[in-house]
Amino acid sequence: MTKEELHEYQPLLTKGIGDRRPPKLPNKTLLLAASSACIGGTFQYGYNISIINSPTVYVQNFINQTWAERYQTNISEDLLTLLWSTIVSMLTLGGFMGATIGGTLSMKLGRKGTLLTNNIFALVAALLMGLSYHTGLYELLIIGRFLIGITAGIAICVQPLYLGEIAPTAFRGTMGMGTSVFITGGILTGQVIGLKELLGREEYWPILLSTTCIPALLQLLTLPWFPESPRYLLIDKGDNQGCKKALKQLHGVADWDRELEEIQKEKNNLTGFQAKKPWELFTDRSFHWQIVTVMLLNMSQQLNGINAIYFYADYVFKQSGIPEDKIPYVTVGTGACECITALTCGMLIDCLGRKVLITGGYILMSICCILFTLALSFQDASPVIPYLSMVCIFAFILSFGLGPGGVTNILTTELFTQTARPAAYMVAGWVNWLSFLFISLVFPFIVIGLQQYCFLVFLVICFSVVVYIFLVVPETKNKTFVEIQNAFKSNNSKDHTADSGRTTLLTTSI
């Protein structure tokens, strides 16, 4: 740092982080920047998870018709199922690929630059899926779903990075909840757009699948007006003036200086450190418990039973006497329930803290697993039981949205400093997408083998996560990234000392 820069930062460094002023409401520009990042980011992920459900029968009819025209014979049932499963699962494969390249792109192009570039995949995907029917090429659906999966994988990796790095410390939790809010908002929007009153009819399914271009265009039109991540500008690029300009735009002229102070302290703390590669997080003992925590939380986010709840939802709704043609509207209710809970979590997270919400969410999910198992076991015992099952479904979704659904991504941001954060998100993305693929492949067999008792498996998973969080994960509310890193140092130091002791003993014995 030059003498001029040192003189410029001196007033900030002498104040100390202990002199934090009471937080005000987030700047309007900050909220608009977060919304722009999310609408073309994780909104796409949620939207493309749910949008594919509505036209299932219509797309299968299209594949059958195309096959007959090409080969003058009807496609077999097994092959049709295989092709449809391939179309659906391409999102997972693309997501894994996106998570693999997302962290690297975020370091080369910046957080904002990566999000903007990411829209290219979404626009090409929308074009291919929209043209599939008119060209008679169902292969375009496979390619399109793969590309939109890449979009989702990059978004889940990079968008939380951007939100966590532009947010002031006092509102980092609320801002980080944008990831969860827009995922659930995307799921709900896809459910609503897929209703028969809108684009859920057979003649509209190519248009329905191509509507994924709309969020991409909205982000391309709005995000360029907002700045790059100030942390990326100062710590990764050394752009002092760019960082100050971004902070003033995002936080206001009156509040930018205290955030600059924190960023500068983190930069000084990271002097001499290079950006980490994903595999280096596993060999660096200073990140041992952080990477274990992130992997466990992302794995459990897919394996905690939320997919099982949605699987059983239609069955429970039918048992409750809801007409089959009305079930899609009740399903929209489940999406709205999760979306509202994510918004509620966003309002509570900086008040109650991360640890309370995620632990409480998993405890409530554990209780719901027990109650839902009992309700399904005695489904025919009383006319009231199916309605109790419906209550369990909504309670489980509320519990998931209140804690695990929203807090997991925020913790991935907060448990790592600037040089390790992109690599941590790559690892989190790999674990998340592989767990998603695993549960998609294995879950049907679990249901067939255990039936309603499958929720006892999810009970064990949820309760195990509660114990781990209680024993290992510190509260990160209102702490800087450096303070959070220091909170893990004692555990990592003990772990390293224990390993050293074991190594010495082994060497002596030999």
Are 355 and 407 in contact by the 8 Å Cβ rule? The answer is no
Rounded-to-integer distance, Cα 161 and Cα 205, Å: 34
pLDDT above 60 for 19: no
Query: Which tens digit of pLDDT belongs to each residue from 123-160?
Result: 999 999 999 999 989 999 999 999 999 999 999 889 98
- Residue predicted with more confidence, 255 or 452: 452
Amino acid in position 416: F
pLDDT above 50 for 170: yes
Q: What number is the average pLDDT over the span 433-450?
A: 78
Map tokens 């409401």 to a residue.
Answer: 25
Percentage of residues of the chain with pLDDT beyond 70: 87
pLDDT above 60 for 13: no
Q: What number is the average pLDDT over the span 84-111?
A: 89
pLDDT at 271: 65
27-268 CATH choice from 3.40.950.10, 1.10.540.10, 3.40.50.2000, 1.20.1250.20: 1.20.1250.20
With a CB cutoff of 8 Å and minimum separation 6, the contacts of 83 are 63, 75, 138
Q: What number is the average pLDDT over the span 432-451?
A: 79
Rounded-to-integer distance, Cα 157 and Cα 148, Å: 14
Rounded-to-integer distance, Cα 118 and Cα 112, Å: 10
Q: What is the DSSP string of 434-498?
A: HHHHHHHHHHHHHHHHHGGGHHHHHHHHHHHHHHHHHHHPPP-TT--HHHHHHHHHHHHHHHHHH
Rounded-to-integer distance, Cα 406 and Cα 38, Å: 14
What is the CATH code for 279-478? 1.20.1250.20
- CA 164, 168, 172, 177 dihedral sign is negative
Confidence label for 82 from pLDDT (cuts 50, 70 and 90): confident
User: HSE-up of 19 (CA within 13 Å, CB side)?
Assistant: 10
Q: What's the burial of 17, exposed, middle or buried (CB within 10 Å: 0-12/13-18/19+)? A: middle
Q: Name the most confidently modeled range: 157-171, 203-217, 321-335.
A: 203-217
Confidence label for 397 from pLDDT (cuts 50, 70 and 90): confident
pLDDT above 90 for 117: yes
Pair of tokens at residue 404: 């695990």
Confidence label for 236 from pLDDT (cuts 50, 70 and 90): confident
Query: Which tens digit of pLDDT belongs to each residue from 334-354?
Result: 888 888 888 887 777 778 888
pLDDT at 15: 43
Rounded-to-integer distance, Cα 137 and Cα 398, Å: 41
Confidence label for 509 from pLDDT (cuts 50, 70 and 90): very low
pLDDT at 174: 78
Domain ranges of the chain: 27-268, 279-478
End-to-end CA distance of the chain: 50
Pair of tokens at residue 368: 């719901």
Query: Which tens digit of pLDDT belongs to each residue from 294-327?
Result: 899 989 988 888 877 776 677 677 766 778 778 7
Confidence label for 6 from pLDDT (cuts 50, 70 and 90): very low
pLDDT above 50 for 505: no
Rounded-to-integer distance, Cα 477 and Cα 87, Å: 41
Instruction: Indicate the average pLDDT of the chain.
Output: 82
Grouping H, G, I as helix, E, B as strand and the rest as coil, residue 201 is coil
pLDDT at 255: 66
Which of 36-45, 135-144, 278-287 has the weakest average pLDDT? 278-287
> Assign residue 195 a region: left if phi > 0, alpha if psi is -120 to 50, beta otherwise?
beta
With a CB cutoff of 8 Å and minimum separation 6, the contacts of 198 are 192
Which of 438-442, 473-477, 493-497 has the weakest average pLDDT? 493-497
Q: What number is the average pLDDT over the span 11-33?
A: 60
pLDDT at 494: 57
Pair of tokens at residue 32: 């608009």
CB atoms within 10 A of CB 348: 17
Which of 7-11, 213-217, 247-251 has the weakest average pLDDT? 7-11
Confidence label for 467 from pLDDT (cuts 50, 70 and 90): very high
Residue 294 Cα to chain centre, angstroms: 12
Nearest to 178 by CA among 389, 380, 407: 407
Q: What number is the average pLDDT over the span 246-266?
A: 79
Which helix (H) or strand (E) is 197 found in, with range?
Answer: none
pLDDT above 50 for 12: no
pLDDT at 320: 67
Grouping H, G, I as helix, E, B as strand and the rest as coil, residue 287 is helix
pLDDT at 62: 92
Q: What number is the average pLDDT over the span 113-131?
A: 95
Rounded-to-integer distance, Cα 192 and Cα 235, Å: 43
Pair of tokens at residue 144: 């399109």
Give the global pTM. 0.81
Q: What number is the average pLDDT over the span 201-212?
A: 92
Q: What number is the average pLDDT over the span 185-207?
A: 90
